[in-house]
């Protein structure tokens, strides 16, 4: 593991692998372990009620073939914990704990991995600090619409405390994920230079279709805007239908020379108003679609809502096949 935060670990790893494998859903796996996530804190509830379950989920994804773990901080921020009745100090400790759990799972797995099994693994497995959008904090489904308006300073002051805690706790990079609002994404990226000059982040948009962010911004325009930012190490989309991914990659690819990251949902249908999922027995599998995404240009592939270690194992198998070809 590299402890030098100046290192762009995505590029370092892609020197050794044709593509990287990202982990999958946290909340889905926590629910299987008895954690109730149907509240404003969502999967971050487990940091309070069952932190060992968080570690176990992280480890299950590494065992399935993941090269990258995302911390359980998507909906974990000081404001949200305080609204749930926790003090500022307690809130900060919970965010720090999320990083510790991910790092512990990563280190335990990789340090125990036999040398002959390392060939298909990333040489520098990554712990990425999840930075969900302001809409996730609102817990009203607006991460799927981008329908909120803050100034650049307000966005930055909201996100900075969580990011500072995660950086101090040792994340390798940030994951700006499920970003539906172009102005918020710009605020996050500009803050990297001023407050986190030695860190990198990937930027993953929430999209309404393969050509538009949820707030209506053309995806091509948004991707091109961030292509020149040296601290953004990958650009892509997450938390969208698997059926959107190939077309979305084709929208992104002409507008960036950065690695493209995609991690869709598992094919089930989500209702943001009721916060429930409807199973979709007709959905394709990751085994079916990952080779197509790789062929289209994706360099980092994982899963978002409702995905499992089994799904990530399918991604890893496809990536390993490409590494050998």
Tell me the CATH number at 259: 3.20.20.330
pLDDT tens figures, 27-68: 888 888 776 666 556 656 777 778 888 999 999 999 999 999
- 219 within a domain of the structure (yes/no): yes
**Average pLDDT over every residue of 218-247:** 97
Task: Say what the pLDDT of residue 152 is.
Answer: 97
What are the Cα distances from residue 148, in Å, to 1, 52, 159, 192, 305? 39, 35, 15, 22, 23
Task: Say what the pLDDT of residue 2 is.
Answer: 46
How far separated are the first and last CA of the chain, in Å rounded? 27
pLDDT range class, residue 76, cuts 50, 70, 90: confident
Task: Say what the pLDDT of residue 272 is.
Answer: 64
pLDDT tens figures, 248-290: 999 999 999 999 999 999 877 767 666 667 777 777 899 999 9
| 3: pLDDT strictly greater than 70 | no
- 246 within a domain of the structure (yes/no): yes
Answer yes or no: is 304 a known binding residue: yes
pLDDT range class, residue 191, cuts 50, 70, 90: very high
- 1 within a domain of the structure (yes/no): no
Q: Which residue segment(s) compose the domain that 290 sits in? A: 9-324
- 156 within a domain of the structure (yes/no): yes
**Average pLDDT over every residue of 158-169:** 96
- 3 within a domain of the structure (yes/no): no
Answer yes or no: is 305 a known binding residue: yes
- 136 within a domain of the structure (yes/no): yes
In the chain, the number of structural domains is 1
- 101 within a domain of the structure (yes/no): yes
Task: Say what the pLDDT of residue 39 is.
Answer: 58
| 1: pLDDT strictly greater than 50 | no
pLDDT range class, residue 323, cuts 50, 70, 90: confident
- 2 within a domain of the structure (yes/no): no
């Amino acid at each position: 593991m590299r402890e030098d935060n100046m290192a762009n670990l995505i590029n370092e790893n892609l020197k050794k692998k044709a593509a990287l494998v990202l982990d999958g859903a946290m909340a889905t796996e926590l629910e299987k372990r008895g954690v109730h996530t149907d509240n404003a804190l969502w999967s971050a509830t487990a940091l309070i009620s069952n932190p060992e379950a968080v570690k176990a989920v992280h480890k299950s994804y590494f065992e399935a073939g993941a090269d990258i773990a995302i911390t359980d901080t998507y909906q974990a921020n000081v404001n949200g914990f305080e609204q749930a009745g926790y003090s500022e100090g307690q809130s900060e400790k919970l965010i720090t704990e999320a990083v510790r759990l991910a790092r512990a799972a990563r280190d335990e797995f990789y340090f125990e991995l036999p040398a002959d099994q390392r060939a298909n693994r990333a040489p520098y497995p990554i712990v990425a600090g999840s930075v969900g959008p302001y809409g996730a904090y609102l817990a009203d489904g607006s991460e799927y619409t981008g329908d909120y308006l803050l100034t650049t300073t307000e966005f930055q002051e909201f996100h900075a405390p969580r990011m500072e805690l995660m950086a101090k706790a040792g994340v390798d990079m940030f994951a700006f994920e499920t970003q539906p609002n172009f102005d918020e994404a710009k605020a996050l990226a500009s803050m990297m230079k001023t407050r986190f000059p030695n860190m990198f982040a990937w930027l993953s948009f929430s999209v309404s279709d393969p050509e538009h962010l949820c707030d209506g911004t053309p995806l091509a325009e948004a991707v091109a805007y961030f292509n020149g930012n040296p601290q953004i190490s990958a650009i892509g989309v997450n938390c969208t239908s698997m059926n959107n991914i190939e077309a979305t990659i084709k929208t992104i690819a002409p507008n960036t020379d950065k690695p493209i990251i995609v991690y869709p949902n598992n094919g089930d249908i989500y209702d943001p108003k009721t916060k429930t999922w409807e199973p979709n027995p007709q959905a394709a599998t990751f085994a079916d679609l990952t080779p197509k995404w790789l062929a289209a240009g994706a360099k980092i592939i994982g899963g978002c809502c409702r995905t499992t270690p089994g799904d990530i194992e399918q991604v890893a198998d496809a990536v390993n096949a490409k590494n050998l070809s």
